[in-house]
C-alpha cells in the first residue's frame, strides 16, 4: 500500500536580495517547469500541496503580503510558482526548517501524511533543513533529482542531494 503523501513547496516566494541571490534566482528559473510538473503530478494523484515560506520580516501568515513584499520584475515568474491555489495550504516559517516553530507537523498528522516530496529553494539550506527535520520525525522523503530543487551553485545542490540521499535516506529517483 502506498504511503499517504504530501508535496512541500519551499521558499518559492523569495526576494533574492542577498549574497549570491542572483545565482540562486538564475538556478531557480531553471527548475520552474519541473516544479510546475511536480505540482500537476500532485494534483493528479490528490496529494496535498503545502507551501512553506520565509516571512521576509513581514511576520505575516498571509502569503499575499509576503509575495507583495518580495515582488520585483526579476522574480515575478518564480513567485507565481510559490502562490498556493485555493485547496492548497500555506505555512509561514521563521527560520530555515519548515518544521521549526510552525504548525507543519500538526497539519501532516491531521492529513495522516507519512511521505513527503520536497521541492523548492535553496536546496542546500531550507530544503535540506526541512528534509533533516522530516527524517528526524520519521517521515520518508522523496527529493526528485530532475531539477526540482535549486541552490546558489550546482556543487551545493549536488552536496545537498547527496546528504539527503545518504544520511536522511531520501529517495532521489525520478517520479
Give tens-digit pLDDT for 63-93. Answer: 999 999 999 999 999 999 999 999 999 999 9
- Entry field: residues in the chain: 175
CATH number at residue 130: 3.40.50.850
> Does residue 113 register a pLDDT over 90?
yes
Question: How many angstroms separate the CA atoms of 50 and 68, rounded?
Answer: 20
- Residue 141 φ/ψ, nearest 5 degrees: -130, 140
In a domain, 173, yes or no: no
In a domain, 63, yes or no: yes
Strand partners, 121: 150
Query: Mean of the per-residue pLDDT values for the chain?
Result: 95
Maximum distance among all alpha carbons in the chain?
A: 45
Q: How many domains does the chain have?
A: 1
> Does residue 1 register a pLDDT over 60?
no
In a domain, 84, yes or no: yes
The answer to whether the beta carbons of residues 82 and 9 sit under 8 Å apart is yes
pTM: 0.96
Q: Note down the domain range covering 118.
A: 5-166
pLDDT single digits (tens) 12-23: 999 999 999 999
Cis-peptide, bond into residue 122, ω within 30° of zero: yes
Amino acid at each position: 500500500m502506498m504511503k499517504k503523501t504530501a508535496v512541500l513547496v519551499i521558499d518559492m516566494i523569495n526576494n533574492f536580495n542577498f549574497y549570491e541571490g542572483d545565482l540562486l534566482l538564475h538556478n531557480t528559473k531553471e527548475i520552474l517547469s519541473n516544479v510546475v510538473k511536480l505540482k500537476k503530478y500532485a494534483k493528479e494523484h490528490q496529494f496535498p500541496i503545502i507551501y512553506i515560506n520565509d516571512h521576509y520580516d513581514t511576520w505575516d501568515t498571509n502569503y499575499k503580503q509576503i509575495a507583495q513584499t518580495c515582488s520585483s520584475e526579476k522574480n515575478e515568474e518564480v513567485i507565481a510558482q510559490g502562490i498556493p491555489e485555493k485547496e492548497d495550504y500555506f505555512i509561514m516559517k521563521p527560520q530555515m526548517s519548515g518544521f521549526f516553530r510552525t504548525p507543519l507537523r500538526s497539519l501532516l498528522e491531521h492529513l495522516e501524511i507519512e511521505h513527503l516530496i520536497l521541492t523548492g529553494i535553496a536546496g542546500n539550506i531550507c530544503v535540506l533543513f526541512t528534509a533533516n527535520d522530516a527524517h528526524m520525525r520519521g517521515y520518508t522523503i522523496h527529493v526528485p533529482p530532475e531539477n526540482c530543487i535549486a541552490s546558489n551553485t550546482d556543487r551545493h545542490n549536488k552536496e545537498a542531494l547527496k546528504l539527503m540521499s545518504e544520511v536522511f535516506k531520501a529517495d532521489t529517483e525520478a517520479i
